[in-house]
Structure 1
Amino acid sequence: MGYDIYTAVAIQPEIKMVNERKDIMKNLKRVLELIDCAPQVQPAARETYDGGWAPIKLISLPEFFIQGHEGHWPYKHYIDEVLIEIDGEEMSLLADKAKEHKIYIAGCILERDPDWINDGYFFNTHFVMGPDGNIVHKYRKFTVATHYELAVSPHDVYDKYVSMYGDSLSSFFPVTDTEIGKIGTITCMDGHFPETARALGLQGAEVILHPLLTEPSMTEPYNIWQAMNKMRAWENVAYVIGASWGTITNALRPKNFAPGKSMIVDFNGIVRAYSDSPGEAIISSVINLEELRRRRMDPGRNFPTLLRNDVYRKIYEQDIYPRNQFMDASPETRSARDPRLTIKQFVENGIYKLPEKVPNFLK
């Protein structure tokens, strides 16, 4: 059975930073409770998931939604306390909830993959779980925050990644055709690069899931998060769902480091649901696939069909950020992720002009 109209929900939880592994279950327990109560806080409120003219069929959760994340965590902390596996207990409990309510559940985890962990690599993995509890979609964050994360990008281990999964566009940016539409995922930092969402749009993604950004990008005077999600929706003629943290606890950073701002944007770039304050929240909006598909038949401002790639590809003729960063360098420190080598090349090639006060790494 397909759904041409349904309700999507973004859950905005309060996140406890995982200092000990038991904290993961504390976060998960609350998330499961919030999933249960989602029908009560949608505009067409009801007590259960049963019935409704546009039934809830998709729950989107933020990045790090049960693990949290701190930019100072050492590698050993990830290994000992934070990482989970796709077939582990935590995901099993989410699968039970997906089956109970007959819904799709999406979220991001810091994943220990047995095929990669022996080499020291782990991923920031965005998954979509089907109503049968099985994973139907898995994406590894491509543009990891080099100043912040120790997860690796597929680009950082490019040769091995390609040997295992292939080198097609969908190997890096998958789009999955489901009964609730064609779903694609990007994560946090990915949103700063229009190419990531475009990779999904050119494969027909109808719903793009894009959690999470943090301050100062989410409030005045920046409002980067809001502008970013509206543009990714508008330029790809797709819905964008951005689930965020409500607040964080047990952390060094301020509680409002991610101050809510979860949002659902339609294919015209119009915000259909928005949480304008920090704290726990659940927002929802109707996803009308028939309306979207009819809009895509209109040639006016149909941007994916207007791409002049024969010229645009000249932008990308030269590699910039080097691939295979961690085929030799250790993934256990943040130093190897620094883009200063690329900045230096931009200066040497006359792309960037030096400031009057030259940084030490360019001397």
Structure 2
Amino acid sequence: MTVPPYLAVAMQLAARSVEAAPDVAAARAGILAHIQELEVELAGTRRFLETFSGTPLKLAVLPEYLFTGFPTGRVQDFPARAIFAPDGPEYRALGEVAKRLGLFIAGNAYESDPHFPTLYFQASFLVAPTGQVVLRYRRLNSMFTASPHDVWSAYCRHYGPEAIFPVADTEIGRIAAIASEEILYPEIARAHALRGAELFVHSSSEAGGLLPSAKQIARRARALENLAYVVSANTAGIAMSDIAGASADGNSAIIDWRGTVMAEALSGPNVNAFAEIDIEAVRRARRKPGMSNYLARQRLELFRDTYAGVVQPADSLIEDGKVKPSASLDAVRILREIIDRRARQGLI
């Protein structure tokens, strides 16, 4: 199916911490109210950008944990306040917004799983204009929230290998998600690209600034080496948190498949990171038998033995066949053990 050019926008918006709410009920109500506010902002953004450019807006990417903020330890009931159920009211509300506006909406949230009731994962999602969630990716490289890798044997048994690096084949192209800091890990983007992903939606919350950050550099690298677009939405600060509001603010961006920054925002809430997406250009580049076709030139068998070596072990949250709660994840201890082992091996 041919994909006509369309606009994508990285919505640089302020996340709101649910930790400031007086109780769980207020926190849950605040999330749904925030989604209603988002619809107004998305509708206005579409009118403005389509009038400005003459090209239809088809994709809006939201920042990381926009509706909840992240757990800081200020409250003990963060999961009850913040976690979305896969079939819960928050996704239904987002689906209704997508239907009414005719948009694909990508975002990020903490999410429960019926197979792992003691855990929650960080999930990146894509809601289609049908109102359905057509992409659900659980963050794999996660330090303080459970990763599917922490319950790997059970996760694969329940969902199979296709759920690990999912790609949604949509009317606006084949889309995959990269969560926040995972843009720094080239294997994640490459795994998605090898499964056909032509555009990465990247929800992030990071410190923006005048000097290039690690994530800014990585976004361009992931786009170039995979011949794929990256639409990266950063938070415009985190409201109602106990850190300085603008500590995670700025530099939302859209990068094309050549690694060129097409648009990049400064600080504050804005929709200045928007650009025209030409999926057919990606497809033409990937079909050319030239030196710049980095995907086709991969010799992955060369790396099989090296990658077979375990650095961070699987199933760290499974003990005696039982799944431990998310709070049992001792990320710092695991990292120390990995570093000590590699030091003894003379590898670092």
Q: TM-score, with normalisation over the residues of structure 2?
A: 0.90
SS at structure 2 position matched to 1:183:
strand
Aligned with residue 172 of structure 1, among 164, 171, 189: 164
> Is 2:51 aligned against 1:45?
yes
- What CA distance in whole angstroms lies between the structure 1 residues aligned with 2:140 and 2:181? 9
Cα deviation for residue 124 of structure 1 reads 0.7
**Which range moves more in the overlay, 53-62 or 230-239?**
53-62
- Residue of structure 1 in register with 2:126 after alignment: 128
Compared with structure 1, are the counterparts of its residues 222 and 102 closer, same or farther at alpha carbon in structure 2 (3 Å cutoff)?
Answer: closer
Contact 1:263/1:272, CA 8 A, preserved across alignment:
yes
- Residue of structure 1 in register with 2:101 after alignment: 101
Contact 2:175/2:199, CA 8 A, preserved across alignment:
yes
SS at structure 1 position matched to 2:18:
coil
Contact 2:251/2:264, CA 8 A, preserved across alignment:
yes
Contact 1:15/1:27, CA 8 A, preserved across alignment:
no
Aligned with residue 163 of structure 1, among 138, 157, 162: 157
Moved over 6 A (4+): none
- Residue of structure 2 in register with 1:79 after alignment: 79
Contact 2:316/2:329, CA 8 A, preserved across alignment:
no
- What CA distance in whole angstroms lies between the structure 2 residues aligned with 1:226 and 1:143? 18
State the one-letter code of the partner of 1:263.
A
> Is 2:302 aligned against 1:300?
no
- Residue of structure 2 in register with 1:347 after alignment: 343
Contact 1:27/1:67, CA 8 A, preserved across alignment:
no
- Residue of structure 2 in register with 1:49 after alignment: none
> Is 2:192 aligned against 1:194?
no
- Residue of structure 2 in register with 1:358 after alignment: none
- Residue of structure 1 in register with 2:69 after alignment: 68
Cα deviation for residue 128 of structure 1 reads 0.9
State the one-letter code of the partner of 2:17.
M
State the one-letter code of the partner of 2:158.
M
- What CA distance in whole angstroms lies between the structure 1 residues aligned with 2:102 and 2:217? 33
> Is 2:278 aligned against 1:288?
yes
Cα deviation for residue 260 of structure 1 reads 1.8
5+ long unaligned stretches in structure 1: 47-51, 353-363
Deviations 1:60-118 (A, max 9, x none): 111101111143356x422221112122222222111111122211111111223322x
Contact 2:98/2:105, CA 8 A, preserved across alignment:
yes
> Is 2:234 aligned against 1:235?
no
Compared with structure 1, are the counterparts of its residues 137 and 34 closer, same or farther at alpha carbon in structure 2 (3 Å cutoff)?
Answer: same
- What CA distance in whole angstroms lies between the structure 2 residues aligned with 1:73 and 1:192? 28
Contact 2:125/2:136, CA 8 A, preserved across alignment:
yes
How many residues align structurally?
335
Aligned with residue 34 of structure 1, among 22, 26, 41: 41
Aligned with residue 335 of structure 1, among 330, 333, 344: 330
- What CA distance in whole angstroms lies between the structure 2 residues aligned with 1:310 and 1:15? 42
- Residue of structure 2 in register with 1:309 after alignment: 300
Contact 1:27/1:65, CA 8 A, preserved across alignment:
no
- What CA distance in whole angstroms lies between the structure 1 residues aligned with 2:80 and 2:51? 42
> Is 2:200 aligned against 1:208?
yes
Compared with structure 1, are the counterparts of its residues 31 and 260 closer, same or farther at alpha carbon in structure 2 (3 Å cutoff)?
Answer: farther
Identical-pair percentage: 28
Cα deviation for residue 131 of structure 1 reads 0.9
Structure-to-structure mapping, 1:234-253, within 5 angstroms: 234-253=224-243
- Residue of structure 2 in register with 1:355 after alignment: none
SS at structure 2 position matched to 1:197:
helix
SS at structure 2 position matched to 1:33:
helix
State the one-letter code of the partner of 2:60.
I
- What CA distance in whole angstroms lies between the structure 2 residues aligned with 1:79 and 1:71? 12
Contact 1:173/1:200, CA 8 A, preserved across alignment:
yes
Compared with structure 1, are the counterparts of its residues 330 and 129 closer, same or farther at alpha carbon in structure 2 (3 Å cutoff)?
Answer: closer
**Which range moves more in the overlay, 128-137 or 305-314?**
305-314
- What CA distance in whole angstroms lies between the structure 1 residues aligned with 2:252 and 2:337? 35
- Residue of structure 1 in register with 2:24 after alignment: none
State the one-letter code of the partner of 2:300.
N
- What CA distance in whole angstroms lies between the structure 2 residues aligned with 1:282 and 1:35? 13
- Residue of structure 2 in register with 1:357 after alignment: none
Aligned with residue 138 of structure 1, among 132, 136, 139: 136
SS at structure 2 position matched to 1:210:
strand
5+ long unaligned stretches in structure 2: 22-26
State the one-letter code of the partner of 1:112.
S
